[in-house]
Amino acid sequence: MIRLRPEWRRIFEARERDLDARRCFNCGTCTTLCPLGLKVLPREIFRYALLGAEEKLRENREAVYACLLCRLCEVNCPQGVKITEVIRLLRVYLAEEDLEVRP
Amino acid sequence: MKEPRLGVFICHCGGNISDVVDVEKVRQAVEGAPGVKVAQTHMFTCSEAAQQEMIRLIREHDLNGLVIASCSPRLHQETFRQMARRAGLNPYRYVQVNIREQCSWAHPHHPGEATRKAVALVKGGIARALRARSLEPIVIKTRPEAMVIGAGIAGLEAALGLSRMGIKVHLVEKEDRPGGLLRDRGPIFPTDQKGRELVEHLWREIHRDANIRTYFRSHLCGKEGVVGDFRLKICRDGEEKEIRAGAIVVATGARPHTPQPGEWGYGSEGVCTLYEFLLHLAEHPEEKPLFYRGRRVRRLVYVYCVGSREPAGEKARTYCSRYCCTAALYTACLVHSRWPEVTQVHLYRDIRSYGKYEKYYRRALGYGSVFVRYSPQSPPEIHPGGRLRVRVRDLLTAKQEIELEADLVCLVTGLEPVHSPELLEHLKLPVGKEGFFQEVHPKLRPVETMADGVFICGCAQGPRTAEESAASGLAAAAKVGALLLAGEVKREPLVAEVIEERCDGCGECVAACPYGALELSGDRVRVRESLCKGEGACVPVCPQEALQVRGYEHETIKALIDSLAEGLADA
């Protein structure tokens, strides 16, 4: 069960004026292009981030850190989402939580 | 009667006919038959070259009858009638025989039998052509006046459009104010103009217009007469009033579907339909923060396709109302821009923000609306309470169950038809399987109906946006203009006629006619030709065989049957 909390995204929005991940319409282009055979694929990670499914993101932190930031997905995203920016924001979020340094 | 001189032309249809039917054999079978002066085959009788040749032959041989054996009369009867007219032959002396759909296409594996049948049919056609009479179309003078029923956006636009063409308009509305579904509404897409202001604007123009008379709290309660000159009755507070008009525009609209209490949580506090929410927003446009009936709204959930696209079943609304996705997206954009703190979640099946309305989907995404796709097999469950709980399976995360809390659940419902038995009874309009009035063809004749002189527009013929309703209102006005401003309507003369010396005035036929085209005058029946549709319901009920339809006279039909039978026996 996912508890949907879209408000959670505001954590990111506070850092980055325009969290353009919300333009994502779930087409899955990123997933098709991803060179890493990840168990949890980029589209799904993005979906969790959009829904505010915090627990799911924590469960899948491996995938978030595995990303190569190669930008293959980013240059091909039909909605022009800056995907690597979002992945880095997610990493910052997870790291702060691990180190208990959340402001 | 003049000596019959017929021309018989048989078409190959470029092989469509001649690959199966031996057209030369058919030609030989009828050549030299009594009355037949010319018998020819053509590769394409409908081609201009073949028509010119036939015109030449008609003139050269002074033909007074014509039979063309080709395709269905639906396709080319009018083509060849016009050709006959060009050749100086009365068009009703032309008979079309269908040997394509009825012979070559129906019996492609039996060429011999198909040819036999073609011979018989052509002989039948000759029998008819020998007895054909010269007829002239029935001409009806038209009145430059029209009735528009319904004063919503479609009706208002139609009325104004008609008036601009110089046609007098009688605008009939059952309520006591104009505007229909847009009357109490705030901004509407795509213009962002307030529905209320749009209606006021149109109404001011109508009010100023001396060509338009409006009748509120009124409805149609009687129709007589014919296209071009109807005698209509409207009722208001039990009083009847007669209005004469050449055409009728039906713009009676539709109504938003409202779920039954309990369905989708409807009836519980915090659950409303999109239409109710829009009326609320129109009434409280500036209120901050956003409240709905005393509930502070921080999180707003839309559920799409409520009561639409239902699985087939009795009374199921299986159709898509097409405007509701865009309406919900537009509302979300409105809420995002006025109350940015409100989080909005859309539970949808498929987003149909067609054409340029796609911009509202993109805009809502950009504002931060969350979209969750559900499947009709597992629709969202809405649990009432202080904060509503909504559970849904998200197709975009492999059907994982999602739970969310909401302050307001907005059910995005479609439009449903308004049933008006009176209107159906008086206008005899065809109704489609969804319950809306049906046009002749959705693309080719979109505002015309099977009832002559009656046009439909707006949501009465199916759900649509305000923009589309206005456009169809104007389309109906244009069609009425084309009909009435010509000054006269021409109709097929193939109507019933009375053989005076046989009629004894028993009146059996008067009851049989569904169009009220027959009346007793003295001890004879009289046909009101402008009302008669030539369908022939009166013919078999007459005990004296005193009624017949022109072009299908008793003698003609008997001769046709005889020659069909002979044709089959001979071949």
Which residues in B341-473 belong to E strands, given as ranges? 343-348, 370-373, 381-383, 388-394, 400-406, 408-413, 415-417, 454-456
Is residue B89 classed as helix, strand or coil in its secondary structure? coil
Q: CA dihedral in degrees (B106, B109, B112, B118; nearest 10)?
A: 10
Measured CA to CA in angstroms, residue A4 lies from A22, B364, B387 at distances of: 15, 18, 14
- C-alpha torsion sign, points A55, A60, A65, A68: negative
Asked if B368 has any chain A CB less than 8 Å from its own CB, the reply is yes
Cα(B200)–Cα(B362) distance, rounded to whole angstroms?
32
Query: Which A-chain residues 35-64 have CB contacts (< 8 A) with chain B?
Result: 44, 47-48, 50-51
- pLDDT range class, residue A17, cuts 50, 70, 90: low
Cα(B223)–Cα(A37) distance, rounded to whole angstroms?
73
Q: Which of A3, A7, A47 has its CB closest to that of B403?
A: A3
Partner-chain contact B402 A4, CB within 8 Å = yes
Buried b (16+ CB within 10 A) or exposed e, B520-559: eeeeebebbbbbbbbebbbbeebeeebbbbbbebeebbeb
pLDDT at B380: 95
Partner-chain contact A22 B371, CB within 8 Å = no
Nearest CA in chain B to A7: B343
Q: Which of A5, A22, A44 has its CB closest to that of B368?
A: A22
Higher pLDDT residue, B533 or B21?
B21
For B420, the token pair is 């008006």
Query: Which A-chain residues 21-40 have CB contacts (< 8 A) with chain B?
Result: 22-26
Cα(A90)–Cα(A12) distance, rounded to whole angstroms?
8
Burial class of residue B432 (count of CB atoms within 10 Å of its CB; 0-12, 13-18, 19+) = middle
Q: Inform me whether the pLDDT recorded for B108 exceeds 70.
A: yes
Q: Which of B345, B362, B366 has its CB closest to that of A4?
A: B345
* Minimal CA separation from A88 to chain B, in Å: 20
* Minimal CA separation from B347 to chain A, in Å: 12
pLDDT at B193: 95
Q: CA dihedral in degrees (B464, B467, B471, B473; nearest 10)?
A: 70
* Minimal CA separation from A4 to chain B, in Å: 5
User: Quick one: DSSP state of residue B177?
Assistant: S
* Nearest in space to B570 (alpha carbons), one of B232, B115, B41, B23: B115
Partner-chain contact B402 A51, CB within 8 Å = yes
CA B512 to chain centre: 26
Partner-chain contact B400 A1, CB within 8 Å = yes
Burial class of residue B369 (count of CB atoms within 10 Å of its CB; 0-12, 13-18, 19+) = buried
- pLDDT range class, residue B36, cuts 50, 70, 90: very high
Asked if A1 has any chain B CB less than 8 Å from its own CB, the reply is yes
User: Quick one: DSSP state of residue B356?
Assistant: G
Q: Which of B367, B398, B403 has its CB closest to that of A4?
A: B403
B217 within 8 A of B236, measured Cβ to Cβ: yes
Give A50's contacts in chain B (Cβ within 8 Å).
370
Q: Inform me whether the pLDDT recorded for B128 exceeds 70.
A: yes
pLDDT at B64: 94
Using the structure block, give the residue that is written with the tokens 């394509």: B100
Cα(B125)–Cα(B250) distance, rounded to whole angstroms?
42
Q: Could you give all domains of chain B from N- to C-terminal order, each with its CATH number? A: 6-135 (3.40.50), 145-253+418-488 (3.50.50.60), 258-411 (3.50.50.60), 495-549 (3.30.70.20)
pLDDT digits (tens, 9 = 90+) for B362-406: 999 988 899 999 999 999 999 988 789 999 999 888 888 999 999
B292 within 8 A of B408, measured Cβ to Cβ: yes
Query: Which A-chain residues 79-98 have CB contacts (< 8 A) with chain B?
Result: none
B568 within 8 A of B120, measured Cβ to Cβ: yes
* Minimal CA separation from B370 to chain A, in Å: 7
Give B362's contacts in chain A (Cβ within 8 Å).
23
pLDDT at B471: 97
pLDDT at A90: 86
Q: Inform me whether the pLDDT recorded for A73 exceeds 80.
A: yes
* Minimal CA separation from A3 to chain B, in Å: 5
Q: Which of B343, B366, B396 has its CB closest to that of A6?
A: B343
- CA angle, corner B472, sides to B467 and B478, nearest 5? 130
Cα(A82)–Cα(B75) distance, rounded to whole angstroms?
59
Q: Which of B362, B368, B370 has its CB closest to that of A51?
A: B370
pLDDT at B1: 54
Q: What is the average per-residue pLDDT within B328-345?
A: 95
Provide φ and ψ at B218, rounded to 5°.
Answer: -125, 155
pLDDT, mean over chain B: 93
B279 within 8 A of B293, measured Cβ to Cβ: no
pLDDT digits (tens, 9 = 90+) for B130-181: 999 999 998 999 999 999 999 999 999 999 999 999 999 999 999 999 999 9
Cα(B324)–Cα(B302) distance, rounded to whole angstroms?
11
Partner-chain contact B401 A48, CB within 8 Å = no
pLDDT at A22: 78
Q: Indicate the length of chain B as a whole number.
A: 571
pLDDT at B70: 96
User: Quick one: DSSP state of residue A100?
Assistant: T
Cα(B122)–Cα(A78) distance, rounded to whole angstroms?
64
Asked if B466 has any chain A CB less than 8 Å from its own CB, the reply is no
Asked if B340 has any chain A CB less than 8 Å from its own CB, the reply is no
> Which of A48, A51, A59, A79 is the mutation pick for testing B, counting most B CBs within 10 A?
A51
Cis-peptide, bond into residue B4, ω within 30° of zero: no
Give A24's contacts in chain B (Cβ within 8 Å).
365
Cis-peptide, bond into residue B289, ω within 30° of zero: yes
Cα(B493)–Cα(B90) distance, rounded to whole angstroms?
12
pLDDT at B385: 81
B66 within 8 A of B129, measured Cβ to Cβ: yes
* Minimal CA separation from A19 to chain B, in Å: 9
Nearest CA in chain B to A42: B397
Cα(B530)–Cα(B515) distance, rounded to whole angstroms?
10
Q: What is the average per-residue pLDDT within B8-13?
A: 96
* Minimal CA separation from A31 to chain B, in Å: 13
Cα(B497)–Cα(B434) distance, rounded to whole angstroms?
39
- Answering whether pTM is above 0.90, one says no
Asked if A77 has any chain B CB less than 8 Å from its own CB, the reply is no
Give B409's contacts in chain A (Cβ within 8 Å).
none
For B407, the token pair is 């302050």
Partner-chain contact B343 A44, CB within 8 Å = no
B23 within 8 A of B37, measured Cβ to Cβ: no
Rg of chain B taking only CA atoms, in angstroms: 31
Give A44's contacts in chain B (Cβ within 8 Å).
397-398
Interface contacts (A, B; CB < 8 Å) = 50
Percent of chain B whose predicted confidence (pLDDT) is above 70:
99
pLDDT at B419: 81
* Nearest in space to B21 (alpha carbons), one of B36, B10, B31: B10
Strand partners, B7: B38, B66
B303 within 8 A of B388, measured Cβ to Cβ: no
- pLDDT range class, residue A46, cuts 50, 70, 90: confident
Strand partners, B549: B496, B552
Q: Inform me whether the pLDDT recorded for B244 exceeds 90.
A: yes
Q: Report the first-to-last Cα separation within chain A, whole angstroms.
A: 28
Give A7's contacts in chain B (Cβ within 8 Å).
343
HSE-CB at A2 with a 13 A cutoff on CA atoms is 28
For B72, the token pair is 């269905």
Partner-chain contact A2 B402, CB within 8 Å = yes
Partner-chain contact B397 A47, CB within 8 Å = yes
Cα(B220)–Cα(B178) distance, rounded to whole angstroms?
17
- pLDDT range class, residue A14, cuts 50, 70, 90: low
